[in-house]
Amino acid sequence: MIKVENLVKQFKDLKAVNDVSLEIKKGEIVCLIGPSGSGKSTVLRCINGLEKPESGHIYVNDQLLDEKNVETYKKLRSLMGFVFQHFNLFPNMTVLENLTLAPIQVMKKSKEEAEDIACQYLERVGLLDKKDEYPNKLSGGQKQRVAIARSLCMNPQIMLFDEPTSALDPEMVIEVLEVMQELANEGMTMIVVTHEMGFAKTVADRVIFLEDGKIVEENNAKEFFEHPKTQRAQDFLNKVMH
């Protein structure tokens, strides 16, 4: 479903992503893990087009993601939902308006239809009663659940999560992970950049471990956590699991 070939992304002198290639199949849940600055978020942002890579190719459903091909580029990006670490909800709009903005403006849905769909997703994330609140009245966990619902309203085929729980208080993490777990159970294709090793271990099909912009190890989740092959992955797991 997603194929990344020889991706390179540089920020001034720093090669944030250095020749990364990976493939994600439909329905697969892949966690990108690694120490801070390993390039995992940058890979995710390149896949979505938020960062423009220096070289390399990204294919979505076998079609090249190329900014020059405007229509295809737009269509392919619309297949991907993106959830940010800091939620990025629109503070000037209510929860419901946050969810209906893009369906009305981009998908040209009627207000009623967009609101119906938005309410369904809000119910799924357990926040229907907050639909008329402004984001500032919500807790971090609630904000992130709204952000996930907002992405889902655009009916994506793949969800990209960029450290969705890193900005949350510990007691809020679980409610967001539960929503993600539910999505996973429904068969959503997901790429998750996370520091939540418990989530990666139980939910991910595959784990990709990055360091210094390179893939150090890639394995199915069980194998990776129980028998990491590389010394670097072993050291990392020893640090974060204990």
Partner 1 sequence: MMFTAFWEILTVDNLIYLLKGAMVSLSMAALSLLIGLIFGVLGASAKISRNRFLRILGNIYVEVIRGTPMLLQIMLIFNVVPIMITQITGNVFRMNYFLIGVVAMSINSGAYTTELIRSGINGVDKGQWEACETLGLSRWQTMRLVILPQAFKRIIPPLISEFITLIKDSSLVSIIGLVELLNSAKVLGNQYYEFMSPYCLAGVYYLAMTLTISYFAKKLERKLAVSD
**CB nearer partner 1, residue 163 or residue 211:** 163
Is 101 or 197 the residue whose CB approaches partner 1 more closely?
Answer: 101
- Distance separating alpha carbons of residues 240 and 86, to the nearest angstrom: 22
CB 9 to partner 1: min, Å: 16
Of 13-21, 132-140, 172-180, 201-209, which part binds partner 1 (CB under 8 A)? 132-140
For residue 77, what are the β-bridge partners?
none
Q: Contacts by 14-21 with C-beta closer than 8 Å and gap 24+?
A: 15/213, 16/42, 16/213, 17/42, 17/43, 17/46, 17/53, 17/213, 18/212, 18/213, 18/214, 19/56, 19/214, 20/56, 20/210, 20/213, 20/214, 20/215, 21/56, 21/215
| Residue 121 engages partner 1 in binding (rule: CB under 8 A) | no
Rank residues 76 and 215 by Cβ distance to partner 1 and give the closer one: 76
| 185 near partner 1 (CB under 8 A) | no
Task: Establish if 74 lies at the interface with partner 1 (CB under 8 A).
Answer: yes
Q: How far is the CB of 122 from partner 1 (least distance, A)?
A: 16
Which of these segments, 4-12, 56-64, 82-90, 169-177, binds partner 1 (CB under 8 A)? 82-90
List the one residue from 88, 166, 181, 202 that touches partner 1 (CB under 8 A): 88
Q: How many residues bind partner 1 (CB under 8 A)?
A: 26
User: Of 73-81, 116-124, 176-184, 209-217, which part binds partner 1 (CB under 8 A)?
Assistant: 73-81
Amino acid letter for position 1:
M
Identified binder of partner 1 from the candidate list 12, 13, 36, 92, rule CB under 8 A:
92
Q: How far is it, in rounded angstroms, from Cα 235 to Cα 211?
A: 12
**Are the beta carbons of 133 and 95 closer than 8 angstroms?**
yes
Question: In the complex, which residues of this chain contact partner 1 (CB under 8 A)?
Answer: 48-50, 74, 77-78, 80-82, 84, 86, 88-92, 101-102, 105-106, 134-136, 150-151, 154
